[in-house]
Structure 1
Amino acid sequence: MTIRKATAADFEAIWPVFHKIASAGETYAYARDISKTEAFRYWMELPRKTFIAEEDDRLLGTYYIKTNQAGPGAHVCNCGYMVAADARGKGVATALCEHSKKTALELGYKAMQFNFVASTNEAAIRLWKKLGFETVGRLPRAFNHPALGYVDALVMFQWLENEGRN
């Protein structure tokens, strides 16, 4: 598996994965009917960088990294990850997250925060905890799951620098 910076042309391979995940409405707070143009803007243009994981010219997954807040919060980044359905359970999300943590430090970030993790996304929560993230907040009934209705959303955080909380 190779992880590299995504180009605009890579969005043709990203879009089917993005569309399937967004239209399911179970893990991301994107409109379920998001257009390809809007998705391109959110995933490719607004973030600071976007990456893809591929193997044998096949997209396995993707992530973006962006500044979470401006000014005094600009040292904290935010990332979003998507893995192709046929690549799940093969370590792709782990590799993407580990890559994103290294990228975050290279870009000068000191911490990473996930703002809106659906509490029903148990596989992601387990993985984020395994990779060192803590749940630092719970937003009651903030995520409207298509099958389960209003469920909690979690805020998860990890300090990335080794020196501690300076």
Structure 2
Amino acid sequence: MRIRDFTEADWEQVWPIVEDVITAGETFPYDPTWTSEICHDVWVEAAPGHTVVAEEDGKILGTAKMGPNRPGPGSHVATASFMVAAAARGRGVGRALCKYALDWARRQGYAAMQFNAVVDANEAAVRLYRQLGFTVIGTVPEAFAHPTLGRVGLHVMHRPL
């Protein structure tokens, strides 16, 4: 598996991953009615942000976007988001993308990384982020409308770099 910069030609394979994740409605607070064009604008980061794909044998297995968590006085803290194709889950793609994002943020001079909205019921992601040094610094109760569990919490997770 190789992680590389996203190119516009990748959207043809990235869009089905994004569409699948947001349609499931279990992990991202994106509107499932958004079009490919809207999702492209939301997912593909402009500078100083960065978007990448994880690929193997020409097939995109997952994607990540990263950049400053907030502008101005908050721009020394990075954030990132990750999506993995259903068929590639459990193969270490998310871990590789997260490690890449942490390394990228460190190289860019960020002091920390913060995730603002990790669905607390997304046990695999919470476990992975904890393994990679993140801590839950707070949970917003009932902030996410999960399609089968009802209203669940959103964790704010943080890790110094």
* Shorter-chain TM-score tier: over 0.9
The superposition leaves residues 7-56 of structure 1 with CA deviations (integer Å, 9 ceiling, x where unpaired) of: 11111110000000001110000001111000000111457110000000
Q: What is the aligned partner in structure 2 of residue 26 from structure 1?
A: 26
Q: How many residues align?
A: 160
Q: What is the aligned partner in structure 2 of residue 63 from structure 1?
A: 64
Q: What is the aligned partner in structure 1 of residue 103 from structure 2?
A: 102
Equivalent position amino acid for 2:109 in 1: G
Q: What is the aligned partner in structure 2 of residue 84 from structure 1?
A: 85
In structure 1, C-alpha distance between the alignment counterparts of 2:45 and 2:11, rounded to whole Å? 11
TM-score of the two chains, using structure 2 as the length reference: 0.96
Equivalent position amino acid for 2:68 in 1: T
Structure 2: runs of 5+ lacking an equivalent: none
Q: What is the aligned partner in structure 1 of residue 15 from structure 2?
A: 15
SS of residue paired to 2:44:
helix
How much is the aligned-residue C-alpha RMSD, in angstroms?
1.0
Equivalent position amino acid for 2:33 in 1: D
In structure 2, C-alpha distance between the alignment counterparts of 1:45 and 1:70, rounded to whole Å? 14
The superposition leaves residues 111-136 of structure 1 with CA deviations (integer Å, 9 ceiling, x where unpaired) of: 11110011110010001001100000
Equivalent position amino acid for 1:13 in 2: Q
SS of residue paired to 1:26:
coil
Equivalent position amino acid for 2:14 in 1: I
Once the two structures are superposed, the pairs formed by residues 1-166 of structure 1 within 5 Å of their partners are 1-46=1-46, 48-160=49-161
TM-score of the two chains, using structure 1 as the length reference: 0.93
Deviation at 1:147, TM superposition (A): 1.2
CA contact (8 A) 1:8 1:44 kept: no
Equivalent position amino acid for 2:22 in 1: A
Structure 1: runs of 5+ lacking an equivalent: 161-166
After superposing on structure 2, the runs of 4+ consecutive aligned residues of structure 1 that deviate more than 3 Å are: none
